[in-house]
Amino acid sequence: MILKPGPLMSCLLEADPFALAEMMVAFANGDGGSIVVGKDSDGNVSTPPIYVEELEGALHQAEQMCSPVIQTGWEQFESEDGTLFVVRVVRSSELHALSDGRVVIRAGSENRPLSGDEIRLLAASKSTGEFESETVAGAKTTDFDDEVISEYIQKLSSRRHKAVSRSEVDILFEAGAITRNSIPTIAGMLLFGKESHVVLPQSGLVFVRFVGTDPRGSDGKAGYGRREEINGPLARVVENAWNVIHEEMAISAVVEGLEREEKPEYPPFAVREALVNAVCHRDYRLQGRRVEVRMFADRMEVISPGGLPGFITVDNIVDEHFSRNPRLVKGLFQWGYIEELGLGIDRMIESMVQAGHPPPEFKARPHAFTVTLYNNRSRKVMPKWQGNMNERQMRAVEFVHTNGRIANREYQQLCPDVSPETLRLDLSDMVDKGLLLKIGANKGTYYILK
Q: What domain count does the chain have?
A: 4
Same domain, residue pair 340 and 433: no
* 120 located within any domain: no
Q: Are strands 291-295 and 205-210 parallel, antiparallel or unpaired?
A: parallel
* 125 located within any domain: no
Q: What are phi and psi of 140, to 5 degrees?
A: -130, 165
Same domain, residue pair 194 and 209: no
Same domain, residue pair 192 and 224: no
C-alpha Rg value of the chain to the nearest Å: 24
* 287 located within any domain: yes
* Nearest partner of 328 among 199, 147, 190, 218, judged by Cα: 190
Same domain, residue pair 251 and 330: yes
**Three-class secondary structure of residue 436 per DSSP:** strand
| pTM of the entire predicted model | 0.73
Task: For the beta carbon of residue 413, count every other beta carbon within 10 angstroms.
Answer: 11
* 365 located within any domain: yes
The domain that contains 445 carries what CATH number? 1.10.10.10
The alpha carbon dihedral of 342, 347, 348, 353 has a sign of positive
Please list the pLDDT of the chain residue by residue as tens digits (450 residues).
667 888 889 999 999 999 999 999 999 998 899 999 998 888 888 888 889 999 999 999 999 999 999 988 899 988 777 789 999 998 888 899 999 999 999 988 889 999 998 898 888 877 666 889 999 989 999 999 999 999 999 998 888 778 888 899 999 999 999 999 999 999 999 999 998 999 899 999 999 999 888 877 656 566 678 899 999 999 999 999 999 999 998 876 565 555 666 788 899 999 999 999 999 999 999 888 999 999 998 999 999 998 888 888 888 888 788 888 989 998 998 888 886 566 688 888 888 888 888 889 999 887 899 999 998 644 444 444 455 677 788 888 888 877 778 998 899 888 888 888 889 889 988 888 888 888 877 777 888 887
Round to whole Å and give the CA distance between 171 and 178.
9
The domain that contains 246 carries what CATH number? 3.30.565.60
Round to whole Å and give the CA distance between 201 and 131.
15
Same domain, residue pair 331 and 369: yes
* Nearest partner of 11 among 42, 43, 35, 30, judged by Cα: 35
**370 CB contacts (<8 Å, ≥6 apart)?**
301, 302, 303, 304, 362, 363
Domain boundary among 327, 343, 374: 374
Same domain, residue pair 94 and 50: yes
Same domain, residue pair 217 and 186: no
Round to whole Å and give the CA distance between 87 and 225.
54
* 368 located within any domain: yes
Q: Specify the amino acid at residue 407.
A: A
Containing structural domain, residue 252:
205-374
* Nearest partner of 234 among 361, 338, 130, judged by Cα: 338
Same domain, residue pair 320 and 213: yes
Same domain, residue pair 307 and 420: no
* 193 located within any domain: yes
Same domain, residue pair 36 and 146: no
**202 CB contacts (<8 Å, ≥6 apart)?**
284, 286, 287, 288, 289, 290, 305
* 237 located within any domain: yes
